[in-house]
Every structure is written in structure tokens, then in C-alpha cells.
């Protein structure tokens, strides 16, 4: 497993993967930035940097998240939420075909190993609230605003 740490506006992202794909991306407030990036991780690092620069809305590098069959199903459904859009947990449970699975869906979202790339930050509460986010609600708010900035209207 190869690992790199990069600086992002939200903290230090750790990217881990091998020739089978990127298996995890997480963020923390501490860490040491990598001085070299191995070829296996270069596409992920470049694309994450482009995302934060506002130049990328989707990711094309190979991913390989590890999880249960249900978690994999939930994470795959998250990939269908477009950049700049949100879905509620209820809407997402309907996409999965079981409205009673909201709690299980929320749990699987919380175990998403691919920060930003599998966009669990785009799932919100039915009332529009920013419920639950492993990286902290302030990061979820930042990501949603980054993807859908409010333009200041001119009075003149």
C-alpha cells in the first residue's frame, strides 16, 4: 500500500492505494506533507488538487474501496449524485430501493473510505440540515459551498 499526504483547504489529506486503485482518502488536522508522490497515487493527487482549485467536478482515477456488499452498494449510489447537488437520506434510501434503510444508509455513508471522491457530503437531512459527517460538519458545509457557491448579486 502506498500513501501520500497533501495539503488541502480542509486539512491534510491522506491518500492510500496500490495498482488495484485508491482504497482510502481521509482528512485530518495534522500530518506531514509528502515530498514525493509515487506514480500509483499521482492521478488521485492531481485530481484532488484540481477539485480544490475549482477545475474538476468528477474523478476518473481507479478506486478500490473495501467494505461489505451493502456498503459498496451505498457508495456506488453516492457516485450518482451530481456535483453541486444534494440528496436527502430519504431520497437516497429510495434510490437504493428501501425507504426503511435510512439508518443503515447513514451508517454506510459514515464508513465511506473515499473522502470527496465518493461524495457522502452531498447527503443531507430531510429538513435540509447538514447532519452527520465523519470529517466534521464544518468541512461538509465548506464542500457544499465549494461545489455550489452563492453568487453575490449586484444592486446596480
Residues 7-56 have pLDDT tens digits of 999 999 999 999 999 999 999 999 899 999 999 999 999 999 999 999 99
Which CATH architecture best describes the domain 2-52?
Answer: 2-Layer Sandwich (3.30)
Among residues 4, 120, 143, 144, which one is catalytic?
Answer: 120
120 noted as active-site residue: yes
Burial class of 129 by CB neighbour count within 10 A (0 to 12, 13 to 18, 19+):
exposed
Closest listed residue to residue 9, CA positions, set 155, 135, 93: 135
Q: Is a pLDDT exceeding 70 seen at residue 154?
A: no
Residue 104, SS3 per DSSP: helix
The predicted structure's pLDDT at residue 134: 83
86-98: average pLDDT: 94
Q: Domain residues of the chain, as ranges? A: 2-52, 69-147
Lowest mean pLDDT among 66-75, 109-118, 143-152: 143-152
The predicted structure's pLDDT at residue 133: 86
Fold classification of 69-147 is Arc Repressor Mutant, subunit A (1.10.10)
Q: Is a pLDDT exceeding 60 seen at residue 156?
A: no
Amino acid at each position: 500500500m502506498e500513501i501520500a499526504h497533501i495539503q488541502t483547504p480542509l486539512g491534510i489529506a491522506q491518500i492510500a492505494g496500490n495498482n488495484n486503485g485508491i482504497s482510502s482518502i481521509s482528512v485530518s488536522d495534522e500530518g506531514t506533507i509528502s515530498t514525493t508522490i509515487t506514480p500509483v497515487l499521482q492521478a488521485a493527487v492531481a485530481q484532488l488538487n484540481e477539485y480544490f482549485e475549482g477545475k474538476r467536478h468528477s474523478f476518473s482515477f481507479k478506486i478500490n474501496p473495501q467494505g461489505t456488499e451493502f456498503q459498496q452498494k451505498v457508495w456506488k449510489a453516492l457516485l450518482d449524485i451530481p456535483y453541486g447537488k444534494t440528496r436527502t437520506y430519504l431520497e437516497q434510501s429510495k434510490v437504493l430501493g428501501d425507504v426503511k434503510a435510512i439508518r443503515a444508509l447513514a451508517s454506510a455513508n459514515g464508513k465511506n473510505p473515499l473522502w470527496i471522491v465518493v461524495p457522502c457530503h452531498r447527503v443531507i437531512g430531510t429538513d435540509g440540515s447538514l447532519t452527520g459527517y465523519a470529517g466534521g460538519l464544518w468541512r461538509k458545509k465548506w464542500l457544499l459551498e465549494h461545489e455550489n457557491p452563492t453568487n453575490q448579486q449586484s444592486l446596480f
